[in-house]
């Protein structure tokens, strides 16, 4: 495996002023830039520290700080980064035939990719949510790890996201009293759930196959056909890799994008002969019938699936995104025929939260690299960290990040509350209920009513998905520029390769629903049947929180919110859809203003107060500061209380 150069080992940095060189540089002598040093975000990143203490109560901060600090270090360990390097250097490939000419259709992924997948699973990047050990805070715990993991994961988080969505879907399905289920179906779904929530070698990831050539945003044109065919032909295998019966539905069609191609199962959309768009569960592999007749024949085979081609992509290159042809893929129907969109929405509501935290994770790493570089790079004899115009843009980026990080994590917290209040299937008895981590306690801490958490979550998930993705892409473009020419390079050091992060971020505004699709979704919620309830939930939460601010801008936030409400009430759905992106932006501004205000209020943190003031200044008049004072705040927003020259390396 190729070695990465380590920028993580402290580099000696001499702080003497630049001297006039006596001889010109050669390829091997002269000036070499000290690389930026990446530090454990749990210890270095002020924004991360604020999220950790805002979204977890004190006792959990205490019990989780050591394991999360360890995990933060692990995400930057040379061994982890060398897996990323290996995965990036060895993109997946498709082998169509064996050396002896037999058809093979085998997907090869790199050892680095596989190691990262196992690492993420064993760290509970999905399982934490289903172990329920932190009650309503299990989701914040999970995503506080996830945000650290994303930039060092080479994109294994994509299958993990779908795994999480599938686990939630199956847990709700298994817990539902309204669904009729045969004994076989119960066994099959319970087994899948067990795999999806495992940490060990038994753990499964899942695919999510919706998009076809006719459209990904609008899946109503799905052409894939599901036929009820409970009788198997003698040539067909009848059991999956666990020896459980394959499903009675036979599915054929063409799926245009499948990211988690090597997953063990999938949830997919297909139409029944009556045209009812429905959701199905299918294992991707089955026991091979041929195994009994041919020597050395593989024991398992794909479940009626041919990997037609792998996509060539701008980013997420280690992730095997494929086109798949389905021919008699054996599957089980999930829910009633015709409820496909509703069923798949359960998965999407989870994967969109993953998408938000993925965007934040990539962006956070970009910001960390920019900070690190500013501490070591001199321009015109001055460190960038002491160059006001450079730090001003970094401060702008950090303010944007801190605002949108709250939006993402607010959704995470709401998800935790909603799930704790309405738990799904749980195979083993959950840990004893702790009142301190109950849905009620978590909701009270956040200032929301438990019953309103699902409404807020439904409304804000598309807002967070859309805006974190767009902002991360723009932020990482700034991040590249902040390193000058080096920022644009596809350098071998994956730890500080901002171009890689930028490439990877670009898909986040497309998959799981484009920005326009998110805007339309948000408008649909606002103007739909549950709209009044969702608006009421925001009103109560905003009103209840700013009441605690004793003035300090609260009334202005309420004014913007009331103005927004009026527009929503008075505008038709069609018109509102046209300005859907402004709907997203205004809603996000209000929610973030409240969250930043709350974050500053809880402990009077002055830097957070300034971040909140700057966020509010985008929409309401706030007092302008003297520029010298503003420069000082810029520095604090980016570097915290650290003074330029404070630290040995500066
Ligand atoms: C790397 C990668 C991996 C992927 N992995 C998967 C996967 O694993 N499983 C899967 O099912 N799909 C996957 N996708 C597909 C992805 O979800 C779709 O590409 C996406 O949903 C958009 O669908 P589309 O490509 O058909 O574009 P279209 O739906 O044709 O969209 C084209 C344009 O129309 C706009 N548009 C669409 N609807 C509206 C509307 N109502 N109002 C306004 N504008 C609109 C969109 O914003 C977009 O700009 C993947 C895509 C990529 C790039």
- Residue 210's pLDDT is 96
The 8-class DSSP code of residue 317 comes to T
Looking at ligand 1, which atom is closest to the CA of residue 319? Answer: 1
Cβ(510) – ligand 1 distance below 6 Å = yes
Distance of CA 374 to the CA centre of its chain: 28
For residues 250-279, give the mean pLDDT: 96
- Residue 179's pLDDT is 83
Return the HEC string of 594-626: HHHHHHHHHHCCHHHHHHHHHHHCCCCCCCCCC
* CA atoms of 188 and 330, how far apart (whole Å): 13
Split at pLDDT 50, 70, 90, the class of 16 is very low
* CA atoms of 614 and 630, how far apart (whole Å): 10
Return the HEC string of 555-576: HHHHHHHHHHHHHHHHCCHHHH
Cβ(208) – ligand 1 distance below 6 Å = yes
Nearest partner of 11 among 503, 348, 443, 496, judged by Cα: 496
C-alpha 258 to ligand 1 mean position (Å): 12
For residues 350-362, give the mean pLDDT: 98
Q: Using most ligand atoms within 8 A of CB, pick from 92, 155, 257 the residue to mutate for ligand 1.
A: 257
Looking at ligand 1, which atom is closest to the CA of residue 510? Answer: 20
C-alpha 145 to ligand 1 mean position (Å): 28
Which run of H or E residues covers position 333? strand 322-334
Q: Using most ligand atoms within 8 A of CB, pick from 159, 162, 166, 216 the residue to mutate for ligand 1.
A: 216
pLDDT over 80 at 7, yes or no: no
Return the HEC string of 107-160: EECCHHHHHHHHHHHHCCCCHHHHHCCCHHHHHHHHHHHHHHHHHHCCCCHHHH
End-to-end, the C-alpha distance of the chain in Å comes to 34
pLDDT over 80 at 520, yes or no: yes
Cβ(520) – ligand 1 distance below 6 Å = yes
- Residue 23's pLDDT is 84
Taking only the tens place, the pLDDT of each residue in 370-429 is: 999 999 999 999 999 999 999 999 999 999 999 999 999 999 999 999 999 999 998 887
Q: Using most ligand atoms within 8 A of CB, pick from 206, 211, 323, 512 the residue to mutate for ligand 1.
A: 211
Taking only the tens place, the pLDDT of each residue in 145-188 is: 999 999 999 999 999 999 999 999 999 999 998 888 899 999 99
Name the more confident of 250 and 491: 250
Split at pLDDT 50, 70, 90, the class of 323 is very high
C-alpha 212 to ligand 1 mean position (Å): 10
Taking only the tens place, the pLDDT of each residue in 27-66 is: 999 999 999 999 999 999 999 999 999 999 999 999 999 9
User: How many alpha carbons fall within 13 Å on the CB side of residue 118?
Assistant: 11
Asked if 322 contacts 311 with a C-beta cutoff of 8 angstroms, the reply is: yes
C-alpha 470 to ligand 1 mean position (Å): 15
Cβ(211) – ligand 1 distance below 6 Å = yes
C-alpha 217 to ligand 1 mean position (Å): 5
The backbone torsions φ and ψ at residue 649, rounded to the nearest 5 degrees and listed phi first, read -80, -10
Looking at ligand 1, which atom is closest to the CA of residue 313? Answer: 1
Cβ(161) – ligand 1 distance below 6 Å = no
- Residue 646's pLDDT is 47
Ramachandran class of 222: left when φ > 0, alpha when ψ lies in -120 to 50, beta otherwise: beta
* CA atoms of 407 and 579, how far apart (whole Å): 21
Sign of the dihedral through C-alpha 554, 559, 560, 562: positive
Split at pLDDT 50, 70, 90, the class of 103 is confident
pLDDT over 50 at 6, yes or no: no
Percent of the chain at pLDDT > 90 equals 85
Looking at ligand 1, which atom is closest to the CA of residue 316? Answer: 1
pLDDT over 90 at 260, yes or no: no
C-alpha 642 to ligand 1 mean position (Å): 44
pLDDT over 90 at 1, yes or no: no
Taking only the tens place, the pLDDT of each residue in 104-147 is: 899 999 999 999 999 999 999 999 999 999 999 999 999 999 99
Whether pTM > 0.75 for this model: the answer is yes
Cβ(217) – ligand 1 distance below 6 Å = yes
Average pLDDT taken over every residue of the chain: 93
Taking only the tens place, the pLDDT of each residue in 539-557 is: 999 999 999 998 778 999 9
Split at pLDDT 50, 70, 90, the class of 21 is low
Q: In 3-state terms, what secondary structure has residue 103?
A: strand
Taking only the tens place, the pLDDT of each residue in 578-605 is: 999 999 999 999 999 999 999 999 999 9
- Residue 622's pLDDT is 80
For residues 271-291, give the mean pLDDT: 92
- Residue 432's pLDDT is 82
- Residue 644's pLDDT is 55
Percent of the chain at pLDDT > 70 equals 94
The backbone torsions φ and ψ at residue 259, rounded to the nearest 5 degrees and listed phi first, read -85, -45
C-alpha 508 to ligand 1 mean position (Å): 11
* CA atoms of 257 and 210, how far apart (whole Å): 8
Cβ(216) – ligand 1 distance below 6 Å = yes
Looking at ligand 1, which atom is closest to the CA of residue 511? Answer: 17
pLDDT over 60 at 571, yes or no: yes
Nearest partner of 512 among 369, 384, 350, 357, judged by Cα: 350
Count CB neighbours of 21 within 10 A. Answer: 9
Name the more confident of 530 and 608: 608
Asked if 86 contacts 112 with a C-beta cutoff of 8 angstroms, the reply is: yes
pLDDT over 60 at 470, yes or no: yes
Cβ(504) – ligand 1 distance below 6 Å = no
For residues 295-314, give the mean pLDDT: 90
- Residue 650's pLDDT is 34
Split at pLDDT 50, 70, 90, the class of 295 is low
C-alpha 55 to ligand 1 mean position (Å): 32
C-alpha 216 to ligand 1 mean position (Å): 4
Looking at ligand 1, which atom is closest to the CA of residue 209? Answer: 11
- Residue 649's pLDDT is 38
């Amino acid at each position: 495996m190729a070695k990465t150069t380590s920028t993580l080992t402290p580099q000696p940095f001499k702080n003497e002023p630049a001297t006039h060189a006596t001889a010109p540089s050669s390829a091997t002598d002269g000036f070499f830039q000290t690389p930026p040093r990446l530090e454990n975000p749990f210890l270095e990143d002020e924004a991360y520290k604020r999220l950790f203490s805002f979204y977890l109560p004190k006792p959990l901060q205490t019990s989780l700080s050591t394991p999360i600090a360890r995990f933060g270090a692990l995400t930057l360990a040379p061994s982890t980064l060398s897996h990323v390097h290996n995965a990036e250097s060895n993109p997946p490939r498709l082998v169509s035939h064996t050396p002896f000419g037999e058809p093979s259709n085998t997907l090869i992924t790199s050892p680095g990719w596989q190691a990262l997948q196992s690492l993420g699973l064993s760290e509970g990047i999905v399982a934490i949510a289903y172990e329920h050990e932190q009650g309503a805070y299990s989701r914040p715990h999970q995503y506080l790890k996830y945000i650290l993991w994303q930039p060092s994961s080479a994109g294994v988080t994509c299958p993990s996201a779908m795994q999480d969505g599938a686990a939630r879907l199956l847990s709700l399905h298994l817990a539902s009293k309204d669904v009729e289920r045969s004994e076989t179906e119960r066994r099959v779904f319970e087994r899948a759930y067990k795999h999806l929530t495992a940490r060990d070698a038994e753990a499964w990831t899942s695919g999510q196959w919706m998009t076809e050539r006719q459209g990904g945003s609008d899946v109503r044109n799905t052409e894939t056909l599901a036929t009820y065919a409970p009788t198997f032909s003698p040539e067909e295998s009848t059991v999956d890799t666990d020896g459980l019966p394959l499903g009675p539905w036979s599915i054929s069609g063409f799926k245009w994008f499948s990211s988690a191609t090597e997953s063990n199962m999938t949830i997919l959309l297909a139409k029944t002969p009556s045209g009812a768009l429905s959701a199905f569960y299918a294992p991707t592999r089955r026991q091979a019938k041929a195994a009994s007749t041919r020597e050395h024949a593989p024991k398992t085979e794909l479940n009626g699936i041919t990997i037609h081609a792998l996509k060539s992509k701008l980013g997420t290159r280690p992730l095997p995104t494929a086109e798949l042809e389905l021919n008699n893929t054996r599957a089980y129907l999930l829910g009633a025929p015709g409820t496909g969109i509703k069923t798949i929405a359960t998965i999407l509501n989870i994967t969109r939260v993953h998408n938000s935290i993925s965007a934040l994770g990539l962006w956070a790493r970009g910001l960390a690299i920019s900070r690190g570089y500013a501490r070591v790079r001199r321009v015109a004899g001055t460190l960038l960290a002491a160059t006001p115009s450079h730090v001003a843009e970094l401060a702008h980026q950090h303010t944007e990040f801190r605002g949108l990080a709250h939006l993402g994590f607010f959704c995470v917290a709401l998800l935790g509350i909603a799930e704790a209040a309405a738990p799904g299937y749980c195979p083993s008895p959950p840990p004893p209920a702790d009142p301190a981590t109950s849905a009620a306690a978590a909701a009270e801490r956040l200032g929301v009513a438990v019953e309103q958490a699902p409404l807020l979550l439904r409304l804000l998930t598309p807002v967070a998905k859309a805006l974190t993705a767009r902002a991360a892409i723009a932020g990482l473009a700034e991040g590249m520029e902040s390193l000058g020419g080096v920022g644009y390079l596809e350098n071998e050091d994956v730890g500080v390769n901002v171009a890689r992060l930028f490439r990877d971020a670009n898909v986040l505004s497309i998959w799981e629903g484009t920005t326009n699709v998110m805007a339309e979704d948000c408008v649909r919620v606002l103007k739909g049947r549950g709209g009044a309830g969702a608006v009421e939930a925001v009103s109560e939460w905003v009103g209840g929180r700013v009441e605690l601010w004793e003035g300090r801008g609260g009334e202005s936030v309420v004014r913007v919110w009331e103005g927004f409400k009026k527009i929503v009430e008075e505008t038709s759905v069609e018109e509102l859809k046209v300005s859907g992106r402004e709907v997203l932006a205004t809603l996000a501004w209000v929610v973030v203003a409240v969250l930043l205000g709350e974050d500053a209020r809880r402990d009077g943190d002055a830097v957070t107060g300034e971040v909140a003031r700057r966020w509010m200044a985008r929409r309401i008049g706030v007092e302008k500061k003297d520029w010298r004072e503003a420069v000082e705040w810029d520095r604090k927003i980016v570097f915290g209380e650290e003074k330029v020259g404070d630290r040995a390396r500066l």
